[in-house]
Amino acid sequence: MIAKIGRSSNLYGALAYNNLKVEKENGQILFANKIIETPSGHYSVAQLAQSFEPYLIANRNTEKHTLHISLNPDPKDKVSDEKFRELAEQYMREMGYGEQPFVVFKHTDIDRSHIHIVSVCVNEEGKKISDKFEKRRSMNVCRELERKYHLIPATDKERQKNDKIFHPVDYKAGDIKSQIASVIRHLPKYYQFQTLGEYNALLSLFHITTEKVQGELQGKFQQGLLYFALNDKGEKVSHPFKASLFGKDAGISALELHFEKSKETLKIHPTKQTKIHPTKQTLKSAVTMALQSTSDEQTFKKQLAEQGINVIVRKNDAGRIYGMTFIDHNSKTVWNGSRLGKEFSANIFNDYWNNNIKPEFKETNQPQQKISQSNDEENLPSKKPHQLFDFLNTDKHEDGLIEALGGLLPEAQGEDYEELDFANKMKKKRKHKRGQ
């Protein structure tokens, strides 16, 4: 069983997101601990939130007070509702949240049986419950629950998956240099990118950016790279680090060689069926389908994220889109929109999303291509292009995704785009009401 613990400052959004599943008959409340009962046994979001209010009022200093936990048994496990209740109760008790108010939701909109738990990490006295060694403790509790309830145990490979994830830099945690080093020393070994801009798009997933600096020193022209840590808004939050601090592979000379090698690898690859490299063709098909079936940026990103593709959108202060980059974790390639095809340029997306000018799509009957694989991925099972996942709705967490992609994925990819989209819509509604 895999447990994922998310933290946020949006209790209402987490409750509303899960309760919406119940209202649409895609979920149910299995258990409620220390939640004020209703005569009918049914709950509105406001009724659920009421039970948490005293805890949040008692502590206004903890920013990320809301816990959103998912417990995911092996897909082959047949877990009854009663067993899920017991699992949730024991998990929360062992993790130190047994005396907290919490609600256990079961999601039934996908085949894989799993539950979500919403709670808060501040107690009724206003004290924050310790999260020290939380990841390790959670793994130990999961192993204990597997034994007790005869669940299929997560293998050693699965338990080590999080160690294979390149974690985004957390500038508040300190030792920024080491955090940046752990990412940039390895990314070029796995991903193909052809320009500094594409490299920066990939780095942005890990809250890192780099800039080229050049000038004359003692009569000789010199150039190099500086690396910076970023916050969640993409703003620089650290002093610059010279590339030389991270070894020669992080410098401009090594990267330029990598650009040329990537261009050679991804150049036009003529076959009888197509003159486009199969990796590029597969990605173009996925992006085209997403464009045809969505009408806004958030839904577009969500649909591609479900297929292991990140979309980096660059905008100016006025909101105009001036850059689009696609990061395909299936083939481990990075493509600027214009390089992928003129129909995927920034102007096309800006006209569509900002000016409601829908792009025209050419009718194509391209044969399906298999995902191209690097030498490191030859032993992965063959899969249809961009159909790697059996959880294409709300649970796009890194456990299943890493298994499909061979163990390398930025932790940021685990964001739940459906939940983020829902939370954003709620924010817009509240702003609209305040403006009336």
Q: What is the pLDDT of residues 218-269, one digit of tens each?
A: 666 678 899 999 998 889 999 999 999 988 889 999 999 999 999 988 885 5
Residue showing tokens 């979309």: 311
Determine the pLDDT at residue 99.
Answer: 93
Q: Read off the pLDDT of each residue in 378-388 and give the average, rounded to a whole number.
A: 31
Each residue of 164-213: pLDDT tens digit?
456 788 888 888 998 899 889 888 888 999 999 999 999 999 999 999 98
Q: Read off the pLDDT of each residue in 83-111 and give the average, rounded to a whole number.
A: 89
User: Is residue 399 within 8 Å of 72, Cβ to Cβ?
Assistant: yes
CA distance 257 to 271: 27
Determine the pLDDT at residue 388.
Answer: 26
User: Is residue 283 within 8 Å of 326, Cβ to Cβ?
Assistant: yes
- Give Cα separations from 292 to 186, 285, 403 (angstroms): 35, 11, 29
Judging by beta carbons within 10 Å of its beta carbon (0-12, 13-18, 19+), is residue 94 exposed, middle or buried? middle
Dihedral class, residue 189 (left if φ above 0, else alpha if ψ from -120 to 50, else beta): alpha
pLDDT higher at 330 or 40: 40
User: Is residue 389 within 8 Å of 401, Cβ to Cβ?
Assistant: yes
Q: Which amino acid is at 38?
A: T
User: Is residue 202 within 8 Å of 336, Cβ to Cβ?
Assistant: no
pLDDT confidence of 306, banded at 50, 70, 90? confident
Residue showing tokens 């020193």: 217
Q: Read off the pLDDT of each residue in 62-77 and give the average, rounded to a whole number.
A: 88
3-state secondary structure the chain: CEEEEEEECCHHHHHHHHHHHHHCCCEEEEEEECCCCCCCCCCCHHHHHHCCHHHHHHCCCCCCCEEEEEEECCCCCCCCHHHHHHHHHHHHHHCCCCCCCEEEEEECCCCCCEEEEEEECECCCCCECCCCCHHHHHHHHHHHHHHHCCCCCCCHHHHCHHHHCECCCCHHHCCHHHHHHHHHCCHHHHCECCCHHHHHHHHHCCCEEEEEEEEEECCEEEEEEEEEEECCCCCECCCCEEHHHHCHHHCHHHHHHHHHHHHHHCCCCCCCCCCCCHHHHHHHHHHHHHHHHCCCHHHHHHHHHCCCEEEEEEECCCCCEEEEEEEECCCCEEEEHHHHCHHHCHHHHHHHHHHCCCCCCCCCCCCCCCCCCCHHHCCCCCCCCCCCCCCCCCCCCHHHHHHHHCCCCEHHHHCCHHHHHHHHHHHHHHHHHHHC
Residue showing tokens 């080093």: 181
Q: What number of residues does the chain have?
A: 436
Number of other CB atoms surrounding residue 434 within 10 Å:
7
> Which residue(s) pair with 227 in the sheet?
210, 241
Determine the pLDDT at residue 26.
Answer: 73
Q: Read off the pLDDT of each residue in 156-165 and give the average, rounded to a whole number.
A: 48
Q: Give the global pTM.
A: 0.51
**Model confidence at 145: pLDDT above 80:** yes
pLDDT confidence of 409, banded at 50, 70, 90? very low
End-to-end CA distance of the chain: 48
Determine the pLDDT at residue 421.
Answer: 54
pLDDT confidence of 279, banded at 50, 70, 90? confident
**Model confidence at 285: pLDDT above 90:** no
Determine the pLDDT at residue 198.
Answer: 95
Least confident of 260-264, 285-289, 369-373, 408-412: 369-373
**Model confidence at 9: pLDDT above 70:** yes
The mean pLDDT of the chain is 79
**Model confidence at 73: pLDDT above 70:** yes
Of the CA atoms within 13 Å of residue 327, those in its CB half-sphere come to 23
**Model confidence at 396: pLDDT above 50:** no
Q: Read off the pLDDT of each residue in 43-60 and give the average, rounded to a whole number.
A: 90
Number of other CB atoms surrounding residue 423 within 10 Å:
18
pLDDT higher at 210 or 272: 210
Residue among 35, 103, 93, 32 at smallest CA distance from 67: 103
pLDDT higher at 377 or 45: 45
pLDDT confidence of 424, banded at 50, 70, 90? low
pLDDT confidence of 434, banded at 50, 70, 90? low
**Model confidence at 425: pLDDT above 80:** no
User: To 5 degrees, how large is the angle CA 420–CA 205–CA 385?
Assistant: 80
pLDDT higher at 91 or 302: 91
pLDDT confidence of 329, banded at 50, 70, 90? confident
Determine the pLDDT at residue 248.
Answer: 86
Q: Read off the pLDDT of each residue in 66-91 and give the average, rounded to a whole number.
A: 91
**Model confidence at 377: pLDDT above 80:** no
> Which residue(s) pair with 312 in the sheet?
325
Query: In percent, how much of the chain has pLDDT > 90?
Result: 39
**Model confidence at 416: pLDDT above 60:** no
